[in-house]
């Protein structure tokens, strides 16, 4: 329904490919489904980062418990 041109210039990414910012241009209309899609992708990327962080904390807690038992 939408081509690649609809996404050009709408968002910036970091070096890891995660969406760092979404900024639709002021000079042309941007379809709302494209904005919602980009926001959804960005949100899911952030949630995966949070999940990895929480897993690291859980792993550290387990390691601390193991060390305390010794």
What's the CA gap between 23 and 30, in Å, rounded? 10
| pLDDT tier for residue 1 given thresholds of 50, 70 and 90 | confident
| pLDDT tier for residue 70 given thresholds of 50, 70 and 90 | confident
pLDDT at 14: 96
24-64 pLDDT tens trace: 999 989 999 999 999 999 999 999 999 999 999 999 999 99
Q: 58: which 2 tokens?
A: 């859980």
DSSP 8-state assignment for residue 27:
S
Q: pTM here?
A: 0.81
């Amino acid at each position: 329904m939408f081509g690649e041109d609809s996404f050009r210039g709408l968002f910036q990414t970091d070096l890891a490919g995660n969406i760092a910012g979404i900024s639709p241009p002021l000079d042309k209309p941007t379809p709302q489904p494209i904005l919602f899609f980009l926001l959804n992708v960005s949100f899911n990327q952030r949630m995966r980062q949070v999940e990895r962080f929480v897993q690291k904390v859980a792993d550290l807690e387990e390691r601390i418990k193991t060390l305390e038992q010794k």
